[in-house]
Structure 1
């Protein structure tokens, strides 16, 4: 049986990618760098991966393309993005494909990372890798510090955590401002030329689609004021210190591009 979003899932995945790339021109490179780390800690090529705040499953889709034997769990709270992830990864959840509830090893979990109970919804506690990108900056600092400890608890010993996000270099404040100004100008030019949708315009398309509109209405209840809080983007040093406090044995910078970076840690 075909998933009810099958006719639009690929198109919305593509437009989501273009919308995200308007903000992050090097998005594919940063994801590939995280997957390099996953490969390093899973020599059998079949990682068990937790895609944290995974949205449409962008990281999971790329992980499966690189590691066909990977087992992925996408965790998010957004009903629209989770439905697109489910359609892309699993097809119809009512149709057994290698197992009841979808493709074995491809799990979709709705959970609020703002609450410690999110780990109770996970199907596993021994992930090889936990990856997240451009998502955790919506959490308050005190919550993010605690979340890092919760992530440590669901990783196997030797597993890797990587977080790619806005992490400006505190030693380059003026250059960072100039880089961000150039990036904003390029993004606005793309919007003006119709090369990509803005965040607001992408969600307007979702709300206008009859199959996604009911899910968009659910989303509006969860995020009545978009995310309800301001972004918080400390430098990479803050993240590394918080990860060490959370009990990770190794921490460091895996990648940097302008005002963005990826921190990595070994459980």
Structure 2
């Protein structure tokens, strides 16, 4: 996806909008209802903290949530935090020059990561398809730290894989059906995770940060996918007043917590 558009600190150029589009299509191969969960997420932002929120885009990746946030709420501001140098490169390139957006490089397992943020508190902390990289114990610790940066009356939302282990037959049927659809999409040219990263590694701007990214993470982290009920219960234990599921698919859920 190299072109003469876009900017970078080197002489190489890349097409940031094309990388955003490619990332979206790759993610939708796994999650065809991805946009629906973002819509519900922003509905709840508006309902609980209004249309000009200060948002922390947690494990922001390419800035997917930030893009949709600012498109819907132009008066919002966003801080994106992530450790992935390649996805952050795409995010920074995409939002370069937009003073509503800032980015922070930080490891969410670092006890001091919140000290790097430009604000002490946020109206909303939002994340999607990211925290399953963490096992349950460090995720519970992270939830306590998140509670510390959400203002009173503010919200936290996590949209992710949340498997109900009490329904194994339903889970297996859903998984089999989903993979039939994914196999057909693959035949029609959809990129999977590995293929997308292979392309990123060949881009003149993204090659170096992609190499660093694999040094940090390896191929893919193997965290946990506890149930939505676990997430809601843990968020209440860590300082939120209310927490429950506000959207669900057969395999994923969006859990909302209010401080």
**Fold in common (TM above 0.5):** yes
> Which stretches of structure 1, 4 residues or longer, exceed 4 Å deviation after superposition?
none
Partner residue, 1:211 = 205
Asked if residue 234 in structure 1 is aligned to residue 214 in structure 2, the reply is no
RMSD: 1.6
- Report the Cα offset of residue 88 of structure 1: 1.0
What TM-score, normalized to structure 1?
A: 0.90
Give aligned pairs, total. 252
- Do the aligned partners of residues 220 and 168 (structure 1) sit closer, same or farther apart at CA in structure 2, a change above 3 Å counting? closer
Alignment of 1:216-227 (within 5 A): 216-223=210-217, 225-227=218-220
- Report the Cα offset of residue 184 of structure 1: 1.3
- Report the Cα offset of residue 250 of structure 1: 0.6
- Report the Cα offset of residue 7 of structure 1: 4.0
Cα contact 1:23–1:187 (8 A) shared by 2:
yes
Partner residue, 1:71 = 77
Asked if residue 17 in structure 1 is aligned to residue 11 in structure 2, the reply is no
Cα contact 1:160–1:264 (8 A) shared by 2:
yes
Could you say what secondary structure the match of 1:208 adopts? coil
- Report the Cα offset of residue 132 of structure 1: 0.5
The runs of 5 or more residues in structure 2 that have no matched partner are 1-5
Asked if residue 113 in structure 1 is aligned to residue 113 in structure 2, the reply is no
Asked if residue 175 in structure 1 is aligned to residue 174 in structure 2, the reply is no
- Report the Cα offset of residue 221 of structure 1: 1.9
Distance of 2:213 and 2:166 partners within structure 1: 39
What TM-score, normalized to structure 2?
A: 0.93
Distance of 1:134 and 1:147 partners within structure 2: 15
- Report the Cα offset of residue 217 of structure 1: 1.8
Asked if residue 249 in structure 1 is aligned to residue 253 in structure 2, the reply is no
- Report the Cα offset of residue 76 of structure 1: 0.6
Asked if residue 30 in structure 1 is aligned to residue 34 in structure 2, the reply is no
Alignment of 1:41-80 (within 5 A): 41-43=48-50, 45-80=51-86
The runs of 5 or more residues in structure 1 that have no matched partner are 92-101
Cα contact 1:252–1:264 (8 A) shared by 2:
yes
Cα contact 1:6–1:87 (8 A) shared by 2:
no
Could you say what secondary structure the match of 2:90 adopts? helix
- Do the aligned partners of residues 6 and 209 (structure 1) sit closer, same or farther apart at CA in structure 2, a change above 3 Å counting? closer
- Do the aligned partners of residues 251 and 6 (structure 1) sit closer, same or farther apart at CA in structure 2, a change above 3 Å counting? farther
Asked if residue 197 in structure 1 is aligned to residue 191 in structure 2, the reply is yes
Could you say what secondary structure the match of 2:39 adopts? helix
